[in-house]
Chains A and B, each alone.
Chain A
Amino acid sequence: MSAPEMQNIQPPVVDLEELQYARAQRRDKIAKWTLPVLMLLLAIFLWDRLVVWNEIPHYILPGPGLVIETLIEDWGMLSDALWVTLKITLMALAVAVLGGVGLAVLFTQSRYFEMAFYPFAVILQVTPVVSIAPLIFIYVDNRLAGLLLCAWIVAFFPILSNTTLGLNSTDHNLRDLYKIYGATRWQRLRYLQLPTALPYFLGGLRIAGGLALIGAVVSEYVAGTGGIGSGLAFRILEAGYRLNIPRMFAALLLIAATGVVIFTLASLLSHALLHKWHESAIKREN
């Protein structure tokens, strides 16, 4: 019963509750985008005013204008650093996806394998990466490989645990059905378990994306100036020693932006893959 349909027959019935509901929905739709943008702009504006009114020197707290200026001025150096950090993050994430999904598949194929290796995964996860990293840099000669290893340790666990959960969450009636029709292990995995696990995996990916970045940055800090010396974290350290606070802020801004972009991409991927069938992506009608 769409509105024009009703108008053709009789004057529209005014239902106050429905009208209010429609209005509230329109409001929500606008607020969803304008509110966060407005608040962000307001925060930046207040930051700027705070610096100007209190005459805070730029080596203590630079204003947003100066940060942007520095970002543009130092873009050559910072973009190189961004590329290094981004490369480590994405490589770690890729290895985490391969390793996490691969291990999860092995876990669900053999319960003994899971019993044997799950404790290792948990130990790697609960030990703070900052405390393992120095050891890794002692044993691993290649700095890039060391950084990658650190970021991987942080990122792979959510993918492993979520995917394992997903692979084990298949509908038991569907499992019976597959058995009746004589499905092979491989068929069950491919047609039943992997699709069931997809939403779980994508949830893990969103977390792992952020963690890979954290892992990359943290391990760069640990590697310090003795590291490969060109990532964003290294630039922050270096700028700190030189009291170049605006550059610290600029590098920080790039790290935060990278995190947001990774999260957004993972969310978009999740939506693209799930919006046709999964509950999480379906809008309720009322």
Chain B
Amino acid sequence: MANVDKVFNGNVEALKNLNLTVNQGDFISLLGPSGCGKSTALRLIAGLMRQTSGQIVWNGGLNEGDLGVVFQEPTLMPWATVEQNVWLPHRLRGKSLDDVRGDIMWALKMVGLENFQKSYPRELSGGMKMRVSIARALVTQPRLILMDEPFAALDEITRHKLNNDLLMLRDKLKCTVIFVTHSVFESVFLSDRIVVMAARPGRVSSEVTVDAPYPRTEEFRTSAQYAELCRKASDALHGAMNQHGERASA
């Protein structure tokens, strides 16, 4: 499969002249204060909104099932079992449950929930619901997974666990991830590039390359390198927020 390149050149109120190139296999975090258009950028990529001007180019074209999305909330259908929830992307393309049962089991195994296929969402904990949500995004084996602050509502212990698991998944699947977050620590731990965004109008302020090798473990989380990278990202984020301040006073 060819490189996924995406040139993104929006000129919306919320986003001004946003340029972003994403290569196949990248793990990119969009980091920035609220209102900087991170989620808007994600919605544009997902095709939920259309850009005012500029273009989004997909290398190799965007085919059905190329895209997986995880929202901040698990966004599961409460009346459907775990299995039926994960079935959804296939179901909407007219595939019967029996045809794709293999895919569903594979996706559930990926997130460690293979024994919960008949459970209802309300029987699961917050972290497990999020895993179901991730399994649903994975089930079509997408080239690109969009994640909009997926772990923001979870407690720290669960979040760390899911961070580790997400890296393992990505290592296995070799898929591309665009991850929106407002946590410096999370973005450094997960991504190989952090795109720092500034607000009003939303734009790319700077980019931090995280050159630590994968796989990253709990040891990385306590290493001096991690601390140094977090400092760098944090500085970049403050830089982005100050830019906004200067403009406001000018």
Residues of A that sit less than 8 Å from B by CB: 171, 173-174, 176-183, 187, 191-192, 195, 198, 276-278, 282
Does B1 belong to the interface (CB within 8 Å)? no
| Shortest Cβ distance from residue A121 to the other chain B in the assembled complex, whole angstroms | 27
Pair B89/A181 contact, Cβ less than 8 Å: yes
Task: Point out the residues of chain B lying under 8 angstroms from A282, CB to CB.
Answer: 122
Does B172 belong to the interface (CB within 8 Å)? no
Distance A282 CA – B121 CA, assembled complex (angstroms):
13
- Pick from B71, B75, B79: contact of A198, CB below 8 A: B79
Task: Point out the residues of chain A lying under 8 angstroms from B93, CB to CB.
Answer: 181-182
Q: Mark B214-234, 1 if CB is under 8 A from A, else 0.
A: 000000000000000000000
| Shortest Cβ distance from residue A114 to the other chain B in the assembled complex, whole angstroms | 24
Does B120 belong to the interface (CB within 8 Å)? yes
Pair B73/A173 contact, Cβ less than 8 Å: yes
Pair B91/A191 contact, Cβ less than 8 Å: yes
Distance A187 CA – B87 CA, assembled complex (angstroms):
14
Task: Point out the residues of chain B lying under 8 angstroms from A171, CB to CB.
Answer: 75
Q: Which residue of A lies closest to B64 (CB)?
A: A182
Task: Point out the residues of chain A lying under 8 angstroms from B120, CB to CB.
Answer: 276-277
Does B250 belong to the interface (CB within 8 Å)? no
Pair A177/B67 contact, Cβ less than 8 Å: no
Task: Point out the residues of chain A lying under 8 angstroms from B46, CB to CB.
Answer: 176, 180
Pair A174/B91 contact, Cβ less than 8 Å: no
Task: Point out the residues of chain A lying under 8 angstroms from B64, CB to CB.
Answer: 182
A interface, over-half SS = helix
Task: Point out the residues of chain B lying under 8 angstroms from A276, CB to CB.
Answer: 79, 120
Can you sample 18 A-B contacts with CB below 8 Å?
A: A173-B75, A174-B75, A174-B77, A176-B43, A176-B46, A179-B47, A180-B46, A180-B48, A181-B88, A181-B93, A182-B92, A182-B93, A183-B92, A191-B88, A195-B79, A276-B120, A277-B78, A277-B121
Pair B48/A176 contact, Cβ less than 8 Å: yes
B interface, size bucket: 20 to 34
Does B18 belong to the interface (CB within 8 Å)? no
Does B69 belong to the interface (CB within 8 Å)? yes
The 7 A-B residue pairs with the shortest CB-CB distance in the complex, in nearest-first order: A173-B75, A181-B92, A195-B79, A183-B92, A173-B71, A277-B78, A277-B79
Chain B residues numbered 77-116 whose CB sits less than 8 Å from any CB in chain A? 77-80, 88-89, 91-93
Pair A177/B75 contact, Cβ less than 8 Å: yes
Task: Point out the residues of chain B lying under 8 angstroms from A198, CB to CB.
Answer: 79
Q: Which residue of A lies closest to B84 (CB)?
A: A191
Distance A180 CA – B73 CA, assembled complex (angstroms):
16
Task: Point out the residues of chain B lying under 8 angstroms from A192, CB to CB.
Answer: 77
Q: Which residue of A lies closest to B148 (CB)?
A: A173
| Shortest Cβ distance from residue B215 to the other chain A in the assembled complex, whole angstroms | 30
Task: Point out the residues of chain A lying under 8 angstroms from B77, CB to CB.
Answer: 174, 191-192, 195
